[in-house]
Amino acid sequence: MLDPRLYLVTGDTRGRPLADIVGAAVDGGVTLVQLREKDARPDTLAARYDELSIAIGDTRVPILVNDDADVARTTGSAGVHVGPDDIAPAEARDLLGADALIGWSIHDLAQLGDTENVRASDYLAASPVWATATKTDTTAPLGLAGVAALRRSMPPHVPLVAIGGIDATNAADVIAAGADGIAVVSAICSAADPEAAACELRSTVDDALARRES
Ligand SMILES: Cc1ncc(COP(=O)(O)OP(=O)(O)O)c(N)n1
Ligand SMILES: Cc1ncsc1CCOP(=O)(O)O
Ligand SMILES: [Mg+2]
């Protein structure tokens, strides 16, 4: 069962071992992990996947691989996240099968018209909500109004995660706008205490979801 509330996408750890950061973040309440190393070769990515898999232990938190569906398949990972420069979700579904988790980056409302790929996706990612130094080659930021517009236009049963410039100060706004979870890189990977950072983000998201549902 996909729990999109707090999604850690891996990134710069300020010199600390990635597996330590991911393990701490999962202890702090991360519900989903994506291994994202844009410059890694497939064998390096697969080795990193194995390290993360050990780090999360028996928590059952799913680990997805960014971009590379072949590595996702050969490592036995939970699935893949794809965007405009990657294979399409429907193609990833053919490759990985019905049980895989497949996420798709959404940049504008028009993309929702691609019903084959929306249907092939387990979640959609509003990308980016705000400009971020972590990824500079993005399309125009959607803002909170863009998140709300996507949520209104999407199939109601499909989870929407929001990514880009999200931290503890604005996470509740993103949930209030209609996201079902937040995806973060720097708010956890760059934090002095990644477990505490994850814990704060998770309770902020949980509180905002409870307010939205009350
Ligand atoms: C959860 C999540 N959302 C969006 C992205 C961005 O994917 P993409 O547009 O393919 O860009 P890269 O990550 O490949 O640079 C993501 N990775 N995760
Ligand atoms: C991978 C990705 N896709 C869209 S924005 C982004 C980076 C988000 O990083 P941060 O959480 O540090 O803003
Ligand atoms: Mg990509």
Q: What is the pLDDT of residue 58?
A: 94
**What is the Å distance from ligand 3's center to 65 Cα?**
10
**What is the Å distance from ligand 1's center to 122 Cα?**
15
- Name the pLDDT band for 23 (thresholds 50, 70, 90): very high
Q: Which domains does the chain have, with CATH numbers?
A: 6-213 (3.20.20.70)
The predicted complex's ipTM stands at 0.99
When the pLDDT of each residue in the chain is averaged and rounded to a whole number, the result is 98
Q: Which ligand is nearest to the CA of 132?
A: 2
- Residue of 36, 123, 134, 167 to test ligand 2 pocket, by largest number of atoms within 8 Å of CB: 134
Is 135 tagged catalytic? Answer: yes
Query: Does the global pTM surpass 0.90?
Result: yes
Residue among 5, 48, 105, 202 flagged as catalytic = 105
Query: What's the pLDDT tens digit per position in 38-63?
Result: 999 999 999 999 999 999 999 999 99
What is the secondary structure of the chain as a DSSP string? ----SEEEE----TTS-HHHHHHHHHHHT--EEEE--TT--HHHHHHHHHHHHHHHTTS---EEEES-HHHHHHHT-SEEEE-TTS--HHHHHHHH-TTSEEEEEE-SGGGGG-HHHHHH-SEEEE--SS-BTTB-S-----HHHHHHHHHHHS-TTS-EEEESS--TTTHHHHHHTT-SEEEESHHHHT-SSHHHHHHHHHHHHHHHHHHHH-
105 lines ligand 1 (CB under 6 A): yes
183 lines ligand 1 (CB under 6 A): yes
Query: What's the pLDDT tens digit per position in 127-164?
Result: 999 999 999 999 999 999 999 999 999 999 999 999 99
The pLDDT of residue 1 is above 90: no
